[in-house]
Amino acid sequence: MSILLAVVLTLVATVITLNFSSGEKKIEHRIKPLYAVDDPRFQRSMGVLLGPPILPGNRAQVLLNGDQIFPAMLSAIRGARRTITFETYIYWSGTIGKAFADALSERARAGVKVHVLLDWVGSSKMEEAYLEEMRRAGVQVEKYHPLRWYNLARMNNRTHRKLLVVDGVVGFTGGVGIADNWTGHAQDPEHWRDSHFRIEGPAVAQMQAAFIDNWMKTRGEVLHGDDYFPAIAPAGPHPAQVFKSSPGEGSESVRLMYLLSIASARKSILIANSYFVPDDLSVQTLVEAMRRGVKVQIIVPGKHIDTQVVRKASRARWGDLLRAGAEIYEYQPTMYHCKVMVVDDAWVSVGSTNFDNRSFRLNDEANLNIYDPDFARQQAAIFNADLQQSRRIDLGAWQRRPWSEKLLERLAALLRSQL
């Protein structure tokens, strides 16, 4: 019996070790600020280091909150003629979950090839009836990393990507999950504030490739041909790229993108993020930017947040940022689930990525980067509107918080490698 117990404990310890340590080197040294975001070298570096190039000829449209986001996504699905590829982390039961299941099923019955990839953890609150409805209609539905004895070492790796591509020509990404929390217009604590983005143009093919990356890992099937990768004509004025990040590839693409963008800032950095728990190098890079004269403003959730431990861990990391001059704001009306960064009114990154270790090193993520001053100014205006509904946290108030809060925050910060 003692031998069996020892074997079991060894297996448990091995699983824990495999899940909570990546085994890969991470970026440890500061990134030198060699050029600004408006320098052609910045664009070249982003295209080479992150993988896909920045392509001209795209049109990106911002969608604010569920009242704009869900009708646009459902309209695109209902208008599909050849293919739908859909990957998401959160998919829960409810009115909007049923609407998506019905729309996807209807298109499959009409002969459209529909592929749905749901994270096993994120879709745990989804009724089995939705899956049965879609599968009966002909939708191919897969779960990403379901718990199995043979994949215990990957149970901590989730797909957090939020990708919808219709007919290979129109795509959506951003922060929204498929749940009733995102419906409405952020009018009360039960209806969250979020931004999502609709894109047309050549960068949609890169979004499609990000979906197919995980589809191959899950189903072992390659989706290709004109139904998935049609020739795409220029659709608008925005240079853009869609890149992916995955710990399975030893990739820190998302973290690298943030660090390089911050190091290249010369005027301003706006960060709107639902889970802001920066690591030491990220804090250092932000502080060095402020020493160069860069204005840093950050909006995070306030008391309305779905994960209190993240809020506490976040607040524990603010000291050096506040002392360096960062303006940190807590959004007041409801849960703030946005994931947007704007640098120097020129460079915008949006998508599924949170500013935390889980997104940087543990999850599969995908982001849309847009290099366009007009689009960046539009996002800055939206950021400033959110700022008007947020409460600024100054250094004095942060230092005067009760010792009990400080203790809980420090304890939560010990978990930040998993947050």
CA 118 to mean position of chain CA atoms: 15
Q: Which residue among 115, 143, 162, 244 is the active-site one?
A: 162
The pairing of beta strand 238-245 with beta strand 113-119: unpaired
Q: How far is 47 from 54, CA to CA, in rounded Å?
A: 6
**Residue 368: exposed, middle, or buried by beta-carbon count in 10 A (0-12, 13-18, 19+)?**
buried
Q: Is the dihedral of CA 58, 218, 176, 311 positive or negative?
A: negative
Q: Is 26 an annotated catalytic residue?
A: no
Three-state DSSP class for 129? Answer: helix
Q: In 3D, which of 52, 63, 80, 96 has the Cα closest to residue 257?
A: 52
Beta strands in 110-254 (DSSP E): 113-119, 140-144, 163-166, 170-174, 195-200, 238-245
Q: Is 364 an annotated catalytic residue?
A: no
Ramachandran bin of 398, using left for φ above 0, alpha for ψ from -120 to 50, beta for the remaining angles: alpha
Q: In 3D, which of 178, 232, 208 has the Cα closest to residue 58?
A: 232
CA dihedral 270, 274, 280, 283 (to 10 degrees): 20
The pairing of beta strand 339-343 with beta strand 268-273: antiparallel
Residue 272 bridge partners (DSSP): 299, 340
Q: How far is 90 from 83, CA to CA, in rounded Å?
A: 22
Q: How far is 102 from 68, CA to CA, in rounded Å?
A: 19
Q: Which residue among 119, 339, 345, 386 is the active-site one?
A: 339
Q: Is 29 an annotated catalytic residue?
A: no
Q: Is 32 an annotated catalytic residue?
A: no
Q: How far is 338 from 196, CA to CA, in rounded Å?
A: 8
Q: Is 344 an annotated catalytic residue?
A: yes
CA dihedral 392, 394, 398, 401 (to 10 degrees): -70
Q: Is 160 an annotated catalytic residue?
A: yes
Q: How far is 164 from 6, CA to CA, in rounded Å?
A: 47
- Going by the DSSP 8-state scheme, the letter that residue 140 receives in this structure is E
Catalytic site positions: 160, 162, 167, 337, 339, 344
